[in-house]
Each structure stands twice: as C-alpha cells, then as structure tokens.
Amino acid sequence: MKQLFTKKNIIIYSILAVCFIGSLLFVHNNYSFYDRTIVKVVETNLEDITEISDMHQNEDQIYTQSITAEIKNGEEKGQLIQLTNKYSDSAAIDNEYKAGKELFVKLDANPDSNSELTGSIKDIKRDKYLLIITWLFIFTLLIVGKRQGFYALISLVISAIILAIAIEVYVNTANISLLVICGISIILFTIISLLLVNGFNEKSYAAILATLLGTFLSLLITYLVMLFTSEQGLRYEEMQFLTRPPQLIFMAGLLIGALGAVMDVAITISSSLFGLYEKDNNISIKALKKSGLDIGRDIMGTMTNILFFAYISGSIPMMLLYLRNGSNLSFTFSMNLSLELARALSGGIGIVLTIPIGLYTTIYFINKKRSKP
C-alpha cells in the first residue's frame, strides 16, 4: 500500500484509464465500422402468445413481438424500421428484445420509398458487453494478482496470438500438417509461459523439458490407443461442420488442451524440489524423489478434475436437447461426450505421466548444478 502512488504507478494507471475509457467510447460509437446494418430497439410490443407442445410432452410458449428500431449506420441512418421477432420461454435459439438493445438486421428490398422500412434480425451486437467483461477480467487480475496477474495476462495474450497465427498459417497453407503446426506452437507456448512466470533458471528448464516430454508422450499413447482400438466409440458427429478431417483436429485440440495442466504439474514439481535443494544443498536424491512423488500425488486428482469439468460442461445444453427430444441415454452420451471424455482421459494420462518425468528432469538439473564447483 505504501508505494501506491509512485510516479511509475501513476503512469500505468493513467494508461489503463485512457485505454478503458477510449475503448468504451469506441465500442459505443463504432456503427460506421460495420458493413451490416445496425439498429437500436426503440419500442417493442407483444402481439401474440401461442402455447405449443410436441409428441415428447415438451411444452413451451412462443411470443411474437413487433419492434420499432432506429437505424444507426449506412444510407438509411436515422430512419425507423419495423421488425417482428418470435421468442420462446426456453430461448435456445431466440431472444426477447427490449428497448435499447442493438441488433444486426438485413434490410428488405424497398422499392417504394414512401413505405416503412422492414427487415429481418440476424444477430445481436455483443461487442460492447464482451469489452466490459474483458475489462472486468483485466482489472480483477491486476488488482488481485498485481505483478503476477499482469504476467498471467501477458502470457495469455501471447498464447492467443500464437494460436491465431498458427490457425491462419494452417488454413492458408496447402499440404501442411496440423500436428506439425501444433507441435511448434506448443513448444513456443511452453517456453514463453514458463520463462515469463519463472525467469531464466534451471527450475524453468527442468519444467520446460518435462512439459514437452509429458505432452508428446500422452499424445503418442492416445494415438496408439486410437490405432489399436480403431477409434471404436469415438463419435466425430459433433465436429461435422468442419470440412476437414476431424481426427487431426481432435488430436491437435487434445495436444493443446492438456498443455496447460501438464505445465502446471511440471512447474509445481520442479519449483518445490528446487526449493528443497536450496534449503539443504546436501539433500539426498532419495529424499527428493519421495517429496516429489508426495507432491505429485497431492495434485493429480484435482488437476485431472480441472480438465474434466472444463471439457464436459460445454456439452450440457446439447445433451438436454437430445434427451428432451426422446433420444436414449447411451446414444446421447456417446454422441455428445465421447470426444470430451477422450480429451479429459488423455489429459489425465499426460498429468500423471508428467509427475515422474518432472521428477527425473528436475533431479537431472539438480545433479548438474551440484557437480559444478
């Protein structure tokens, strides 16, 4: 608290404040940057309510609302437009719009210039909400995490940029293997994230080595299992929108998805073993091994659970839809969960394997340090 208002901090706060206010102003006035027509809802009127039910005893209500909205960009800027919108109680693919909401619409061809403008609703303008949540995220990280929060933010941004570039390269280059690109990106992710968090030292080197070995070994195991079981039980239908071979993309996603967890395990093991070594330079290898395994045992359960929930939860809405439409349990689960479960299991294998690997790479670097005079 005592150094809250140093010169450096004041500069940082001012830059942040300018970015925050500037971006908010931009996103509330960026209508002219969009090609699509944007309207702002002025008034809504509920026209009709219909109750519906189907053969699976699903009951819902469908509402029809008429909307008057003001056009915010393009040639018709400032004019009013009439829209109709249908929405339901479950709101799976529809929404009720209230005054003030901004929407993308497609204008109907309007031969007679005297008649009212009409159109159809295409999407919602979500950029301003995303921006506010992003800022909340940034502020939470900086306030709670201080310097480390800032580094976490930087490493996240760099990772996102690497990922974006990797995808760009993959999509625009013919005959290039996604696995090669992902392999290279993973090496970059690992080196950058671990060096940024821990700096240039043996601790980081041991963790980087363990991470890379652990990730690629778990990929190899998963690949071999898929080969030997001829991918029985894996349903790629949920990726059917892709015009590319889903297996490859699934494997690449697997590699990236497990990386964070494997890094976490590797750095936890290497920093705690180096901590023990620094406290007592003569600590025996046997004692190090025992502590390393103890630490590994403590974290492997919770780490696999992180992956499990992060992967599986996203499938809940689709499973509800399947089940309410009369699909049976086993069909619903195999269609929606097979890939997610495979990802979670293979990530878990990576996590568990990294414990002994991290142990040995760390001991290797400790031995190397010891042998130096």
Partner 1 sequence: MNTLVCLAAILFLLMILIGGKKGARSFIALFLNFGVLFLTILFMLDPSGNPIILTLISCVVISCINLFYINKVNVKTKAAFISTIITVTILILFIVVTTKVTMIQGFGEEESDELSIYTVYIGVDFVKIATSVIIMSAIGAITDIAISISSPMREVFHHHPTITKKELFNYGMAIGRDIFGTSANTLFFAFFGGYLGLLIWFNDLSYSVGEIVNSKVFSAEMVTILCAGIGVALTFPITSWVNTFYLLKMKNDDKDSQTSTED
Site for partner 1 in 44-73 (CB under 8 A): 52, 54, 56, 58-60, 62
Distance of CA 37 to the CA centre of its chain: 29
For residue 319, the number of C-alpha atoms closer than 13 Å in the C-beta half-sphere is 16
Map the footprint of partner 1 across residues 327-366, applying CB under 8 A: 338, 340-343, 345-349, 352-353, 355-356
Judged by CB under 8 A, the residue of 21, 116, 184, 233 near partner 1 is 233
Give dist(CA 321, CA 323) in Å, integer. 6
Candidates 68-76, 91-99, 110-118, 283-291; binding stretch for partner 1 (CB under 8 A):
91-99
Q: What is the CA radius of gyration of the chain?
A: 27
**Cβ neighbours of residue 79 closer than 8 Å, sequence gap 6 or more:** 70, 71, 117
Cβ-in-10-Å burial (0-12, 13-18, 19+) of 23 comes to middle
H/E run at residue 115: none
3-state secondary structure 82-97: EEEEEEECCCCCCCCC
Candidates 10-18, 41-49, 108-116, 306-314; binding stretch for partner 1 (CB under 8 A):
306-314
Cβ 116 to partner 1 shortest distance, Å: 26
Cβ 281 to partner 1 shortest distance, Å: 22
Map the footprint of partner 1 across residues 162-191, applying CB under 8 A: 163-164, 167-168, 170-171, 189
Binding mask 264-293 for partner 1 (x = CB under 8 A): x--xx------------------------x
Cβ 64 to partner 1 shortest distance, Å: 14
Q: Are strands 117-124 and 37-53 parallel, antiparallel or unpaired?
A: unpaired
Does 318 participate in binding partner 1 (rule CB under 8 A)? Answer: yes
Does 28 participate in binding partner 1 (rule CB under 8 A)? Answer: no
Does 37 participate in binding partner 1 (rule CB under 8 A)? Answer: no
How far lies 312's CA from each of 167, 259, 318, 333, 372, in Å? 24, 17, 11, 11, 48
Map the footprint of partner 1 across residues 130-149, applying CB under 8 A: 130, 133-134, 136-137, 140-141, 144-149
